[in-house]
């Protein structure tokens, strides 16, 4: 028996960076007090979602050396103090390249390494290709004090390949920090679709999934987005076991027995019966040819 309690946070963000960091710190403390071992904060929570518009001045928000930053040191000290694991999302500058990145801080306060977002979206209010270079780290699994965790960042979560590769690499839980909300052009609320895709990853790979999203209305010049929250935790069968609504700040927690889930994944036979030799078409842009 190897039990771990995970948490997903959900909060609104302003241009008061110190207040955002303080709010996130308080969320982590409250979740830890409730027994959480691994605490997921949302994507790029240090600032509003600046990718709504293409503005060159926003490149100045990037952190050049994450390990020397006060931002990292704050959460590194917090992780050590509370004995928790914190996947920490940030805007990274590395040489002449800029990335949507995440560093995983283990429960002793030390870094387990860096992941850079693989899939970079573009579109009205999601102008990420203007800011971010596609990640060069590949999909990564981090061996933390409380289990092996796989990380994907926002748009990564829509791709079945992300979840499958992370599980094949040994992940025991998948974590997806997110910033998603209203679609200014498409007349849809994608929150149910968003959740269903990740619940499918959980069921298809027999692995728990944790997703953290922001809430609130954020405005830019001639643009605004309302982020729809709906942060949730799904079990290894794809059922939502915890969920937040679209407007509340706070966090949710759930406890999993990783040993039992690993046995279930083994016994179900999905990975035993895979046929990678027949999957070559997946590497083609157009498999019909």
User: What are the distances in angstroms from CA 132 to CA 43, 50, 92, 111, 236?
Assistant: 14, 12, 9, 22, 32
154 is catalytic: yes
The tokens describing 128, both together, are 């990420």
The answer to whether 125 is a known catalytic residue is no
| Known catalytic residue at 43 | yes
Give the angle subtended at the CA of 17 by the CAs of 13 and 18, to the nearest 5°.
Answer: 115
Contact 38/69 with Cβ under 8 angstroms? no
Rounded Cα gap, residues 160 and 176, in angstroms: 13
288 alpha carbon, distance to own chain's centre: 33
- CA-derived radius of gyration, the chain: 18
Identified catalytic residue from 51, 92, 127, 154: 154
DSSP 283: G
Catalytic hit among 23, 43, 92, 125: 43
d(CA 195, CA 280): 28
Of the candidates 117, 125, 128, 199, the residue annotated as catalytic is: 117
Give the active site residues. 43, 117, 154
């Amino acid at each position: 028996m190897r039990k771990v309690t995970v948490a997903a946070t959900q909060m609104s963000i302003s241009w008061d960076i110190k207040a955002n960091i303080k709010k996130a710190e308080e969320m982590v403390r409250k979740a830890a007090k409730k027994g959480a071992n691994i605490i997921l904060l949302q994507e790029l929570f240090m600032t509003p979602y600046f990718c709504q518009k293409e503005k060159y001045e926003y490149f100045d928000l990037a952190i050049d050396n994450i390990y020397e930053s006060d931002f990292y040191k704050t959460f590194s000290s917090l992780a050590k103090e509370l004995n928790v694991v914190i996947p920490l999302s940030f805007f990274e500058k590395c040489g002449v390249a800029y990335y949507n990145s995440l560093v995983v801080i283990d429960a002793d306060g030390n870094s387990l390494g860096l992941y850079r977002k693989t899939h970079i979206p573009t579109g009205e209010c999601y102008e990420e290709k203007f800011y971010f270079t596609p990640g060069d780290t590949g999909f990564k699994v981090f061996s933390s004090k409380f289990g092996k965790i796989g990380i994907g960042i926002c748009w990564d979560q829509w791709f079945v390949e992300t979840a499958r590769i992370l599980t094949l690499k040994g992940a025991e839980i998948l974590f997806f920090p997110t910033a998603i909300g209203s679609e200014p052009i498409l007349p849809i609320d994608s929150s149910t679709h968003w959740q269903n895709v990740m619940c499918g990853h959980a069921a298809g790979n027999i692995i728990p999934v944790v997703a953290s999203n922001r809430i609130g209305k954020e405005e830019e010049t001639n643009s605004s987005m309302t982020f729809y929250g709906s942060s949730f935790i799904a079990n290894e069968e794809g059922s939502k076991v915890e969920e937040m609504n679209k407007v509340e700040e706070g966090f949710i927690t759930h406890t999993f027995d990783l040993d039992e889930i690993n046995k279930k994944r083994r016994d179900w036979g999905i990975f035993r019966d895979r046929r990678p030799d027949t999957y070559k078409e997946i590497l083609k842009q157009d498999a019909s040819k």
